[in-house]
Structure 1
Amino acid sequence: MQTTMPDIAHSADALQTGKLDWVGMGNIELPLLFASKGLSDTHVTAKADAFVNLQKEDAKGIHMSRLFLALDTLSCEQSLTPKTLTQVLDSFISSHQDLSNAAKVSIHFELPLRRQSLLSQKQGWKSYPVTVTATLNDGVARIELGVDVTYSSTCPCSAALARQLIQNAFADKFQQQTVDTKQVHAWLGTTEGVLATPHSQRSIANIKVLLASDCEEFDILTLINQVENELKTPVQAAVKREDEQEFARLNGQNLMFCEDAARKLKALFNQTNYQDFFVKINHYESLHAHDAVAYAVKGIDQGYKA
């Protein structure tokens, strides 16, 4: 004899009544096709967090499987775009009528991109951590695109101290001599001639931008290129000797504290059409055991906060 399976979330009384901001699932495994301007749709292995609010105070809970199945449809039948993401959120809410009027999803993945070397024209793969976060509240969608960009930062203070040591060594070496260009040129090519180098470190810019409400496609490539072109010293993939030398030159010509990097990116994003932006600069110090950190936001009312 067939019986109806119990639905406790629908029929049981809540142990305690009250509204909840978000209820849902975290770390859902989600292979996806990510669609973005200028790129072929890219297969990525993502993790998703999916939520709805719980407006009905006496409801026992939500129907989590409905969130999972909506994301599964996105995974198997669609590409990830602003439109399909909004459709997923709408499905979250429509499948929870009388329970919810808002939905949220956050999707995290590594995006592999082919990147060209500085001079040799060789190419290699670089992966960029990407986060897409979207909310739908009373029919209004809000979509954020985030990416982490890794680069090298060379300390201006350390560079000045290194230059001073080189000047002192030059004075000690040649103070009693008539300076000969060839001799100086040869000396500069020795360890004695460049007896000090400034310290540099791998650094990461955590970027988050709020897309325009009428945005129809992601454009992660432009965002990454804007950041890397502004900072000048992104970490490299394929590297030949000429690329390594050019990387050293770029570091020497683009000395920066974390404050410099944050101000560069704030000025950059102030000239774009993003509704809002958030920047966190992390310089993972090679001199200190701690990190140097700076934040920058657009500074609009009810916008991102540092």
Structure 2
Amino acid sequence: MNVHMPEIERFPSRDEAEKALELLRVWAGSASDVEISDLDPLISRLVPGQEVSNYPALARAYPEDFEADEAYKASMPDLQNGPSSLIRGAKQQIQHVGISNFRLPIRFHTRDNGDLTLETSVTGTVSLDAEKKGINMSRIMRSFYKSADETFSFDVIERTIDAYKKDLESFDARIQMRFSFPVIVESLRSGLEGFQYYDIALELVDVGGVRKKIMHLDYVYSSTCPCSLELSEHARQFRGQLASPHSQRSVARVSVEIDCAKSCLWFEDLIDLCRA
């Protein structure tokens, strides 16, 4: 009767390991870089002359069949979510850290022309506790995209800021949305009409649980240079010389804190107040 004994798992001896290493060195000495990389890039360190190399020869061709499956994603390093013991240097709180000027089309209500879809530049920041190493900035964008299909108002911005404060476990947060708002304006003398674009920003600031809703308007207008005016008048009075003061482009930056519980302040309302 034949008795099959189960194979007993054992570790190779040192002599066997030395023979295997010698065989691997012989193979690596005649193999190409591509063959070595396909088997294991670390084998390149066994090639004579590369014993102290700390950087193996890597494959130059991108593998067409590579797929980042769940197992591969799980193996990737995540320094942000690692232990706080990995922080080097002084542990200091950061007031604002985030992402600036990512652009997407946003739909806004208007007073006179229904809804308008405008290219909008978004800046989102959060505070960073001293015990944290950083933030995943793409989370700010992903939080924003959850509401990007809605017609925007401060209520939508509040839901967005709630989402990314929760995602990033932050105390303070800020969102600012900047866009160029078109308005048909009548000329001063001819009565003709044309588009004028006004830079507007909606900002929601959350500090210590207290929120402020602010609308900013950069109102561009023409003004007379006071220095040029005085010099022109001096030339007229003292030399009888005709002189004309020149105009200059000026910007009035108007910021208004919004109380949404009261009547709505439209973009056009703020522009009209500046034009009055």
| TM-score, structure 2 normalization | 0.63
Residues 53 and 216 (structure 1 numbering): CA distance in 2 closer, same or farther, change over 3 Å?
farther
The Cα offsets for residues 65-115 of structure 1, whole Å up to 9 and x where unpaired, read as 22111222333x11221111111111111212xx31221112222111111
The change in CA–CA distance for 1:42 and 1:204 in structure 2 (over 3 A counts) is same
Of residues 115, 127, 133 in structure 2, which corresponds to 1:60? 133
Q: Which residue of 2 is the match for residue 185 of structure 1?
A: none
**Paired residue for 1:81?**
153
Q: CA RMSD in A?
A: 2.9
CA–CA distance in structure 1, aligned partners of residues 231 and 137 of structure 2: 58
1:9 maps to 80
What percent identity do the matched residue pairs reach? 24
State the alpha-carbon separation in 1 of the partners of residues 263 and 209 from structure 2: 17
Given the alignment of the two structures, is residue 136 of structure 1 paired with residue 189 of structure 2, yes or no? no
- RCO higher in structure (CA 8 A, sep ≥6): 1
Match among 109, 123, 139 for residue 193 of structure 2: 123
2:145 pairs with 62, 67, 72, which one? 72
Question: In 2 relative to 1, CA 109–147 (structure 1 residues): closer, same or farther, beyond 3 Å?
Answer: same
Correspondence 1:111 to 2:185: no
How many residues get paired? Answer: 201
**Tell me, which stretches of 5 or more residues in structure 1 are unaligned?**
170-193, 230-306
Aligned-partner Cα distance in 1 for 2:87–2:194: 55
Q: Is the 8 A contact 2:94 2:127 kept in 1?
A: yes
Q: How does 1:108-257 map onto structure 2 within 5 Å?
A: 108-155=178-225, 158=229, 161-162=232-233, 165=236, 195-212=242-259, 214=261, 217-229=264-276
Offset at residue 225 of structure 1 (A)? 1.1
Match of 2:14 in 1: none
Structure 1: distance between partners of 2:80 and 2:94? 15
Contact map agreement 1:86 1:136 (CA 8 A) in 2: no
Offset at 1:126?
0.9
Unmatched runs of 5 consecutive residues or more in structure 2: 1-68
Tell me the distance in 2 between the aligned counterparts of 1:168 and 1:18: 65
Give per-residue Cα distances to partners, 1:169-221, cap 9 Å, x unaligned.
7xxxxxxxxxxxxxxxxxxxxxxxx9443332222212222222636745221
Cα pair 1:115 1:123 within 8 Å, conserved: yes
Between the aligned partners of 1:52 and 1:131, the Cα distance in structure 2 is 18
Q: Residues 5, 214 of structure 1: CA spacing in aligned structure 2 closer, same or farther, 3 A cutoff?
A: farther
| Pair member with larger Rg | 2
- Work out the CA distance in 1 between the residues paired with 2:105 and 2:187: 30
Distance 1:219 1:68 in 2: 26
Partner of 2:6: none
Gap change, CA 1:148 and 1:2, over 3 Å in 2: closer
Q: Is the 8 A contact 1:81 1:217 kept in 2?
A: no
Q: Is the 8 A contact 1:130 1:145 kept in 2?
A: yes
2:162 is equivalent to residue 90 of structure 1: yes
Distance change >3 Å, CA 119–CA 23, structure 1 → 2:
same
CA–CA distance in 1 between the matches of 2:200 and 2:79?
37
Are the aligned partners of 2:127 and 2:170 in contact in 1 as well (CA < 8 Å)? yes
Q: Relative to 1, partners in 2 of residues 1:213 and 1:141: Cα closer, same or farther, differing over 3 Å?
A: farther
1:150 positional shift: 1.6
Tell me if the contact between 2:235 and 2:243 (Cα under 8 Å) persists in the aligned partners: no
- TM score, norm. by length of structure 1: 0.57
Q: Could you tell me how far 1:20 is from its partner in structure 2?
A: 1.8
Amino acid at match of 2:201: T
Between the aligned partners of 1:209 and 1:151, the Cα distance in structure 2 is 19
CA distance in 1, matches of 2:264, 2:190: 33
